[in-house]
Amino acid sequence: MEPLTLTDATFEKEVLQSDIPVLVDFWAEWCQPCRMVGPVVAELASEYAGKLKVGKMDVDANGQVPGNYGVMSIPSLILFKGGQPVKTLVGVQPKDVFKKAIDEVIAQ
C-alpha cells in the first residue's frame, strides 16, 4: 500500500478528520535523508494498513501545513491522532524507532 500524497488542500480531510492515527512524512525531492526514509515509510504504510494512515507531504509544493506545525528540518515525521499532533520524529531513524512510536500512539 503506497502512502497518500498530501497537500495543503487535502490535509484537513485526510489527516485531521481521520478516524485512525496518521503518520505524515514531510519531505522534499532534493533531500537525500528524505529519500533514505521514503522506503521505510512505504513499508510502514503496508504493515499498518487499516490501523494507520500514512501520507507524504512535499514541503516545497505545500508551505502552509508544514509552517503550521513548525516543520523546520526534513525529513520530519509527525504522528496525528484525533486531529492533533502527538509525536514528532526528525531525521533518519531506524525502522524500529518509527514502529515503537506508532505502536505507542495506536495503543493510546
* Catalytically active residues, by annotation: 31, 34
C-alpha closest to that of 19 among 79, 69, 81: 81
Could you tell me where the beta strands, DSSP code E, fall in 1-108?
A: 4-6, 22-27, 53-58, 76-81, 84-90
Backbone angles phi, psi at 23, to 5 degrees: -100, 120
